[in-house]
Structure 1
């Protein structure tokens, strides 16, 4: 069985490694090398690193759907499946129709919820207790194809987007292998998505992370968890941007205005919100490293009575 894999970031690596172990991966498509670090040297994607290690042919078109030469090479490979995991490019109908059995995508949500670019983050931001992966046949829509298999992952009250990312990343490979085997054995039934139950997870930006202190403590904490490690939730303290890595909802009420700093101690910064109190535990100021509040206040001062905004 011939497989072509399309993927780019770390999230796609375990999936590619699982496919290499079980099947014949003929080629890997990934995004072009990009400048990285202070020296701006060209760096390979994590997926390309794995392909090179296993002597698998790599294609890196700028825009695959407009690259006639590469599309013809893909047709000549005549793959049974094209497997897509966080590739970063939209596939045309022509490409979707190349593989014998179809194009399969691994998406990091329990579809039809959280279609789109940032499903892991928005699941946490919205306070979901369960997330997961879904494999699906790809069509021309955005994560709208018929579903195949799912795997679930519990979201704990303290879990960050980075931690959920790693959990789903490790689950993805096995789910893809089981999906391919199930299709070949005729044991998987295609399930159409119910569009009326769908929602989208738009791309993140630094604007997404601006904290509105009039919201409740739990919602603010979900935002902090959902944007860690990037782009991070933030607020302004005394005119400076303060990024927040970690916080905790306290079982306390407050009569102070939202954003008011009630207390500062080794435990953290106690802040009044629109509903309840939030304890900020880990922060970062411009040009400084992330630090727990207990370490930051050893050489710096955070004043009570000021209002974060």
Structure 2
């Protein structure tokens, strides 16, 4: 099929690569404008733009995709379908109506759960056991269109937002390549979403990573995994930020104030929570590199009863 592909971050690159590999004609790639980055503040292309440049594809970078001249340029491409994955702009109904097969979105959740910007983090934060990818027929709502095809995978006990991101990124690439010929041959029956089962998730913000030690050890462990790699779960130790990268729930009752150090040994330490204890395995003190607790304790003294805030 002739495809206009819309995407911006790393998540959007494997689907583009897979569609090219499958022999589809990518008539244009639409991505966000280059953004200043780093100390130099020089404009940097998106990962999708870099991929498109590598393959010599036509690139469009509109500030607003709904502007009249952009809409006319999209119409002139005469594409069969628009495929969208984490593009970063809302498509107007006028844009949605351009291709004959409409616009489809690669969404990293099992819709109607987790409509919105951060489905990967939210399923871990909520302690879900499974997640997946949905290929959805887009409409004017936020992830409210009919479901075309889904694929479910388990969330492993050691999955973080980062590891799950990678799994769903490649799953989405495989699923869109599976879906496209079936869309062309009318082999997929659109299934309306059940709005009564819908949940929404906004963007992740840095303050969401702050640990509340009054929460249960299990809930805090979900936070640690869901905020990894960004913005990280964090607390404070003697006035300095302490990021917690890896932790394990212990089947042990708390025996002190939430946030207090319960035990310290040469490899790990445990913290009392509102319900149970959390064993800390990997961390990063402000101004230091990320390290295992056994290495941290070689140069830092922790005592039972010290408080994390």
- Flag whether TM exceeds 0.5 (same fold): yes
Pairs aligned (count): 308
User: 1:299 Cα deviation (Å)?
Assistant: 1.5
Distance 1:246 1:305 in 2: 21
Alignment of 1:40-189 (within 5 A): 40-65=41-66, 67-189=67-189
Q: Is 1:193 aligned to 2:175, yes or no?
A: no
Distance 1:224 1:76 in 2: 48
Which residue number in structure 2 is paired with residue 250 of structure 1? 250
User: 1:252 Cα deviation (Å)?
Assistant: 1.2
Structure 1: state its 5+ residue gaps.
none
Where does structure 1 differ by over 6 angstroms across 4 or more consecutive aligned residues? none
Greater Cα shift, 41-50 or 24-33: 41-50
Distance 1:215 1:144 in 2: 33
Which residue number in structure 2 is paired with residue 287 of structure 1? 287
Distance 2:291 2:244 in 1: 10
Distance 2:268 2:94 in 1: 56
Q: Is 1:269 aligned to 2:302, yes or no?
A: no
2:255–2:262: 8 Å Cα contact kept in structure 1?
Answer: no
Structure 2: state its 5+ residue gaps.
none
User: 1:106 Cα deviation (Å)?
Assistant: 0.3
Distance 1:94 1:249 in 2: 51
**If the length of structure 1 is used for normalisation, what is the TM-score?**
0.97
User: 1:157 Cα deviation (Å)?
Assistant: 1.0
Greater Cα shift, 40-49 or 216-225: 40-49
User: 1:47 Cα deviation (Å)?
Assistant: 0.6
